[in-house]
Amino acid sequence: MLSTTTSQNAGQGVREITLGQAIREALAEEMRRDPRVFMMGEDIAEAGTPFKVLSGLVEEFGTSRVIDTPISEAGITGMGVGVAMTGMRPIVDIMFGDFIGLAMDQIVNQAAKVHYMSGGKLKVPLVVRTTLGATRRTAAQHSQSLHAWVSHIPGLIVVLPSTPYDAKGLLKTAIRDDNPVIFFEDKMMYQLKGPVPEGDYTIPFGVADIKRPGNDITIVATSSMVQIALAAADGLEKLDISAEVIDPRTMYPLDRDTLIDSAKKTSRVIVVDEGYERYGVTAEIAAVVADGAFYFLDAPVKRMGAMNVPVPFSPALEDLTVPTADSVMEVAKTLCGRV
Amino acid sequence: MSQSKASGSGEFVEARHPASDQVSTAGAQLLETEQVRWLSIYEQMLKIRIFEEHVNQLYTSAKMPGLAHLYIGEEAIAVGVCSALRRDDYITSTHRGHGHCLAKGASVDRMFAELLGKEAGYCRGKGGSMHIADQETGNLGANAIVGGSAGIATGAAMSSKMRGSDEVTVCFFGDGALGQGVLYEVMNMASLWKLPVIYVCENNQYNEYTHNSETTAGEMSARAKAFGIPTEEVDGQDVRAGHLSR
Ligand SMILES: Cc1ncc(C[n+]2csc(CCOP(=O)(O)OP(=O)(O)O)c2C)c(N)n1
Ligand SMILES: [Mg+2]
């Protein structure tokens, strides 16, 4: 499969912008396109969020469409479900992914259930934007990557963009989708630059992107771990190991075919994700690969995630809890019999 | 009489049950109301009572799967409130929701079909007793999470305001839901943003098996008052009180 990053860029004015700018651009374009789209969240208007991702939007769209709310994650998410059911297309901003715990009933028992439980009559076109990712030195309650929680729940779409291009295209798709979408942005990647077309384009859900083609080993990586995997692939190239890096982009729907095809081709697979390794999305992806490519595999599918420990504050400790290019390279070398 | 349009911010009505120490102040207005209207309101209450008696029969004879929370004894609240609403006004309901659905205009046959898990039911058998939703009558759904629809109801009211339409949303919940924090989060926003929502607390004194004197501190209605929400306590046995407290 061709990388959509190269195939869809042709023809439009492409600039290098940051992931944060790509998010802002997607939001602004969608709010211009559709008057039903609006945002609500804590400190999103004048403050533009603590990450400054939304700076400037309130100036264009006003406080009736960029709404500062009380610090009430459950309340604003629940209201997001209600507004979405009745003709609006809300985007609820949950500052840190760690805080979705407070909104979990609204996400899991309300947003995810309404469409099915009503026999398909009611729809919840809600987007919850939130963040993931460690190494910001913000300790155990501001550093988790909790996308596995919602990926477990039927009725939710879960999106993890890893590049500015993907972020813009996937966010537009999320806003136009009639299902609740939980959209996780890596807070450490907001400054990451990449090519992004001006104007409108969307990226379909459930289509993985091959970020780097290769033949000897497949590294399936999500969100923050895609850059890690690409750096590992660079290092492996010097050792004459050709690594293919695949980003599923959406945890659900999951592009099983692209993952399985790559595994069949390379016969070795590592899955890298920043969520806790225990019961994480890596386990699901590894199971999908093992099931679909069993007779083609030359080694067990390896999972790499965050260490199973509350994220420590001390930088020296924190850095030990997440996969790095070096640790991914080591595992890849082992799988390829190069120790 | 058109009391269905809320002019200001959210309202909180505490419907007491079974008896109230407070009598409706609106008796005088009632006399002017056509008998026909009240007769149909009475019929609606009776319809709910008979519906629930049938549900009870189906349930106790094991013909109906799942759970059955009966609305018997509380008919006046749903009918009093919903008879003051338009078809396009919204309601959200609870695990004890048959009465709300019927009072808002749901049809008996599709209700029964849903309770029995049939395709012809309001949710094609996917929701059952505790989840009946009917877009056509503005019913955004019964909810089996205690207090679970407070966010949806308040969001619906926010939507009406944003779309510039004049629907009102009524959020029904039991006295047990007063233990849920999300209720206070959304009441705060409803008042802050002057949303057209009415919170109707059906106080039957019990939170499942436990009397609310063991669970609920202070004055119930003071909780809504604290957010600056106009609050009224009415007799939940008096259908006229529920209707006119709008
Ligand atoms: C969040 C949640 N906790 C507990 C329950 C279990 N439960 C079902 S009904 C009920 C009591 C509810 O009391 P109340 O809200 O007063 O409604 P009533 O049944 O009296 O009409 C409880 C605790 C639930 N459904 N949801
Ligand atoms: Mg009760």
A79, A94, A99, A106: best to mutate for the B interface, most B CBs within 10 A = A79
Q: Confidence band (pLDDT; 50, 70, 90) for B33? A: low
pLDDT for position B243:
82
Cβ–Cβ of A86/B140 closer than 8 Å? yes
Rounded to the nearest whole angstrom, what is the distance from the C-alpha of residue A111 to the centroid of ligand 2? Answer: 25
Q: Using an 8 Å Cβ cutoff, are A19 and A52 in contact? A: no
B104 vs B200: CA distance, rounded Å: 14
Q: Using an 8 Å Cβ cutoff, are B111 and B130 in contact? A: no
pLDDT for position B21:
41
Cβ–Cβ of B159/A64 closer than 8 Å? no
Q: Which residue of A has its CA nearest to B117?
A: A119
| A16-197 shares its CATH topology with A209-334 | yes
pLDDT for position B2:
31
Neighbours of A300 (CB within 10 A): 11
Cβ–Cβ of A70/B185 closer than 8 Å? yes
DSSP letter (8 states) at residue A301: P
pTM score, whole prediction:
0.93
Please determine, for residue B3, whether its predicted confidence score (pLDDT) is greater than 70: no
pLDDT for position B1:
27
Chain A environment of B156 (Cβ under 8 Å): 82-83, 85-86
Residue A263's closest CA among A233, A295, A224? A295
Burial of A38 (0-12, 13-18, 19+ CB in 10 A): buried
**What's the gap in Å between the CA of B41 and the closest CA on chain A?**
28
- CATH 3.30.870.10 fits domain A16-197: no
Where exactly are the structural domains of chain A? 16-197, 209-334
User: Considering chain A, what is the average pLDDT of its residues?
Assistant: 96
pLDDT for position B16:
64
In the numeric block, which tokens belong to residue B67?
A: 């759970």
Q: Which neighbouring-strand residues pair with A40?
A: A67, A92
Please determine, for residue B221, whether its predicted confidence score (pLDDT) is greater than 80: yes
**What's the gap in Å between the CA of B103 and the closest CA on chain A?**
19
Beta strand pairing call for A14-18 and A250-252: unpaired
Least confident of A10-19, A108-117, A327-336: A10-19
Q: Using an 8 Å Cβ cutoff, are B197 and B10 in contact? A: yes
ipTM attached to this prediction: 0.94
**Cis amide leading into A213 (omega within 30):** no
Positive or negative, the CA dihedral A242, A248, A249, A251 is negative
Return the CATH fold of A209-334: Rossmann fold (3.40.50)
Q: Which residue of A has its CA nearest to B91?
A: A82
**What's the gap in Å between the CA of B18 and the closest CA on chain A?**
31
Place of tokens 């700018």: A21
Does the Cβ of B75 fall within 6 Å of ligand 1?
no
Cβ–Cβ of B156/A38 closer than 8 Å? no
In this prediction, residues A28-49 reach a mean pLDDT of 97
Residue A186's closest CA among A153, A223, A150? A223
Q: Using an 8 Å Cβ cutoff, are A127 and A183 in contact? A: yes
The residue type at B132: I
Cβ–Cβ of B141/A114 closer than 8 Å? yes
In this prediction, residues A199-228 reach a mean pLDDT of 98
Enumerate chain B positions whose Cβ falls within 8 A of a Cβ in A: 90, 92, 121-127, 131, 133-135, 140-141, 143, 145, 148-160, 162-163, 181-182, 185-186, 188-189, 192
Domains, chain B, in order of start with CATH, read: 28-244 (3.40.50.970)
Q: What is the pLDDT of residues A240-254, one digit of tens each?
A: 999 999 999 999 999
Q: Confidence band (pLDDT; 50, 70, 90) for A329? A: very high
A111 vs B134: CA distance, rounded Å: 17
Integer angstrom CA distances of residue A100 from A67, A74, A147, A222, B130: 19, 8, 10, 19, 26
Rounded to the nearest whole angstrom, what is the distance from the C-alpha of residue A93 to the centroid of ligand 1? Answer: 30
Please determine, for residue A3, whether its predicted confidence score (pLDDT) is greater than 50: no
In this prediction, residues A330-338 reach a mean pLDDT of 97
User: Considering chain B, what is the average pLDDT of its residues?
Assistant: 90
Q: Is A142 a catalytic residue?
A: yes
Nearest CA to ligand 1 atom 18: B174
